[in-house]
Structure 1
Amino acid sequence: MERGSLMLNTTTFVGLDVHARSIKAVALDAMTGEVRSATFGYDAAEVAGWVSSVDPSAKCVYESGVTGFDLQKRLSSMGIDCVVGAVSKMIKPSADRRRKNDRNDAEFLARMLSVGNVVEVWVPDDECEAARDLTRALDDAREDLKRCKQRLSKFLLRHGLVFSETNAKGQRKKNWTAAHWAWIRSISFPDKADDEVLAYYIDAARQAMEDKARLERLVEAEASKPRWKKRVDSVRCLKGIDVTSAADLVFEAGEFSRFKNARSFAAWIGLTPSEHSSGESVRQGGITKAGNKHLRRVLVESAWHYLGCSPHSKDLAKGQAPDPGARRHAAKGVRRLVGRRAAMLERGVHKNKANVATARELACWCWAIGRMVENG
């Protein structure tokens, strides 16, 4: 109600084209059509002072992107009404795409805001954003470790060296086990330069492993804080979701209640089917992949657990204290997901397609459990 009345009282709208070192601002008076512009360095105080001189009740907007939420938080702390607009929802006319410059971009934002055509991005608080950064850093560490291992194994492959030891049953031992590392350390080359390269790749892989383990401990410590613990522990009751993937879901969502239903949560992750329909023809395609790429990957990987797991409820881990109602709901979700996955495979649905469909429904169950804990 307050926000609606504020919009009715606002007659000046400011578009901000934000870059790393500069900000272009354009103020539009919706009553007179007057347009004013100014250029600043990346200085929230200067922007706030200029906006206040134009109209203290003005409403500002800038596009979501690599600059994040820093400017919005700074302006809001100075009493300036500022929102972040979803860049994926900014639909520009084709004629304007050849007239792209900072001033035109800022004016376009101001005009879109004046007619209520800006989809606002939810802005997390500092604690939530820090928790998000932690899980994203862990994701980066996993990717770094994967690259380090690949470089090491491919370096050895170029020299014709492949780990092929077998156990007592004649089965080939897996890579990156203690036996594999012992084999790697036993390798020596006739040329000292190759020994130096091998030592470098081993050190890089070991360091990446230590970084990943350290970040996993930090994520677990963050997830155990009172703000997150109940939701993390409750979401973990679903099979395929461990403490780090539950933390991913809770930290990225921030508040499950900001999504009006499970379908909108799945759409935010990009797991809903695309559609190309016209007239009487209704055609659905693959998932949109428009949304939170990080969570989409987490859920797709988690969904593979339902290929062979039992429909029984998941045992609690040490220290896990979920909401009792959420745990019962999660047990129902596990039975549903296992049965749905089995039914799709019986119908001959391709395993990858069935897995994505399972991931979408898993996202819906995660939303339901998170929302249940928040409301409880």
Structure 2
Amino acid sequence: MSADAVNDCYIALELSQRTWLVGFLLPGSEKVQTMAIAGGDADALLGAISRIEAKIEGDVWSEGLTCRMRVCFEAGYDGFWLARFLLDHGIDTTILDPSSFLVSRRGRRAKTDRIDVEAMAFTLKAYLLGDKSVCRPVRLPTPEEEDAKRLARERTQLKKERTRHVNRIRALLILHGVRSVPGLWGGRWRDALSNIRTGDGRELGRFLLRELCRQFERLDVVHAQLKTLEKERIEACSTEGSINSGQKIRILKQLSGIGEVGAAHLVAEVFHRTFRNRKHLASYLGLAPSPYASGEVSRDQARRETNRRASCLSNLRGVGSNTSHKAI
């Protein structure tokens, strides 16, 4: 433990949409002080940090001491841009994994933004002074790595949206005894709807027909966006040196059951990361067990989550076909 580390100022940020709560632990103090600024105002945050520095410099006892600003916040809603902003201004910044915090096991635990920011400031201090058990930091991805994930994630969202529209159309028609649904995959649905009859031989109702038309129009938009996204993916994969490198994808495709889309997804989400060992990799993918053993009781807490993530990984196999209509 260095003397410089002891004399650092530890600043925790509790980020929300409306306000950012800044909690700071001054050198030699055991009390976290707080101030609030407008949410999303990075310049106001720099001003707050400057005021904290001025406060430290104004203390008589701090003369001649080197004091660094050590900032932290939880990974979450605001993403990673704030960390890059602070690092660009020379401020040491750590992104913390909120799921790794040591939490009190009391049945009823008070929770406010002030309590959270105070606990985070002490957690940051303990971590930077050498206690690695109190929390885990989150690796800051490069802007290129973060942007590369958008192709696979947008595709997943579009396929979910397509499934919602298809299910809604089918549900509306089944309500009236219509089991066959033509035009779901880009066919001539307008002509098909004009010829559909209900289970008891009647034409579709006026408002039902209009609702179905609007649902099909939204479905057509999703189909068009998926085609555009597929062109962008092919273009990105053909560019060597990018995160979505075609070389990595070609290597993964040599494995049995891995398609081009699944390989691109793995490259964007997994293979730019660094894993210490195979256990670390299994933990990231949700494949590592989480045992609960106390006395004669022994069970695996993560069995359901492990099965779910394993199912998601298995769904990546063979999704290289662009003609499949099943949502990943």
Pairwise same-fold verdict (TM > 0.5): yes
Alignment check: 8 A CA contact 2:282 2:288 kept? yes
Deviation of the 1:48 alpha carbon = 2.4
Q: Identity of paired residues, percent?
A: 23
Mapped to 2, the partners of 1:224 and 1:297 lie a distance apart of: 29
What secondary structure, in the 3-state scheme, does the structure 2 residue paired with 1:163 have?
coil
Local SS of the residue matching 2:28: coil
RMSD: 3.4
Structural mapping, 1:298-309, within 5 Å:
298-302=312-316
User: Match for 1:276 among 292, 297, 301?
Assistant: 292
For the 8 Å contact 2:236–2:242, the answer to whether it is kept is no
Match of 2:78 in 1: 67
| Counterpart in the other structure of 2:48 | 50
For 2:301 and 2:106, the matched residues in 1 are separated by 30
Partner of 1:216: 230
Distance 1:192 1:185, change over 3 A: closer
Q: Which residue of 2 aligns with 1:91?
A: 102
Contact kept, 8 Å, 1:17 with 1:102, in 2: the verdict is yes
CA distance in 2, matches of 1:280, 1:22: 48
- Where does structure 2 lack aligned partners over 5 or more consecutive residues? 54-66, 128-133, 198-202, 322-328
Give, in whole Å, the separation in 1 of the partners of 2:217 and 2:3.
58
Q: Relative to structure 1, is the Cα distance of residues 50 and 160 closer, same or farther in structure 2, using a 3 angstrom cutoff?
A: same
Letter in 1 for 2:49: V
Residue of structure 1 in register with 2:196 after alignment = 187
Instruction: Measure the CA separation in 2 of the matches of 1:275 and 1:215.
Output: 41
Indicate how the Cα distance of structure 1 residues 32 and 216 shifts in structure 2: closer, same or farther if over 3 A, else same: same
Q: What SS does the corresponding residue of 2:290 show, helix, strand or coil?
A: strand
Q: Give the counterpart of 2:118 among 107, 125, 145.
A: 107
What SS does the corresponding residue of 2:141 show, helix, strand or coil? Answer: coil
Match of 1:20 in 2: 17
Indicate the residue corresponding to 1:143 in structure 2: 160
- Kept in 1, the 8 Å contact 2:97–2:137? The answer is yes
Q: Does 1:227 align with 2:220?
A: no
User: How many angstroms does 1:205 deviate by?
Assistant: 1.7
Whole-angstrom CA distance in 1 between matches of 2:4 and 2:296: 40
Would you say the 8 A contact 1:271–1:288 is kept in 2? no
CA offsets 1:73-104 (integer angstroms, 9 cap, x no match): 21111111111111111232246964322222
| Per-residue deviation, 1:58 | 1.8
Deviation, 1:53, is 4.0
User: Are 1:14 and 1:27, in contact at CA under 8 Å, matched by a contact in 2?
Assistant: yes
Whether contact under 8 Å (2:158, 2:222) holds in the other structure is yes
Letter in 1 for 2:141: P
Note the C-alpha offset of 1:8.
Answer: 3.5
Deviations 1:128-166 (A, max 9, x none): 11121232111110000001111111111111111299x
Please, which of 146, 150, 153 is the counterpart of residue 129 of structure 1? 146
Structure 1 residues 7 and 244, CA gap change in structure 2 (3 angstroms): farther
Could you say which structure has the higher helix fraction?
1
TM-aligned CA deviation for residue 183 of structure 1: 4.8
Q: Is the 8 A contact 1:276 1:283 kept in 2?
A: yes
What TM-score comes out, normalization by structure 1 length? 0.67
Shift of 1:36: 2.5
Letter in 2 for 1:213: K
Task: Give the AA of the match of 2:265.
Answer: D
* Alignment check: 8 A CA contact 1:163 1:183 kept: no
* Alignment partners' CA distance in 2, 1:239 and 1:213: 26
Q: In the TM superposition, what is the alpha-carbon distance from 1:31 to its structure 2 partner?
A: 3.0
- Shift of the alpha carbon at 1:109? 0.4
Structure 1 portions without partners, runs of 5+: 166-173, 306-315, 318-376
Q: Deviations over 1:260-315 (max 9, x none)?
A: 1222122112122231223576544553638xx8x766413135x6xxxxxxxxxx
> What count of residue pairs does the alignment treat as equivalent?
291
- String of CA shifts for 1:236-264, please: whole Å, max 9, x gaps: 222332222222222123623x2112221
SS in 1 for 2:158: helix
- The amino acid across from 2:233 in the alignment is V
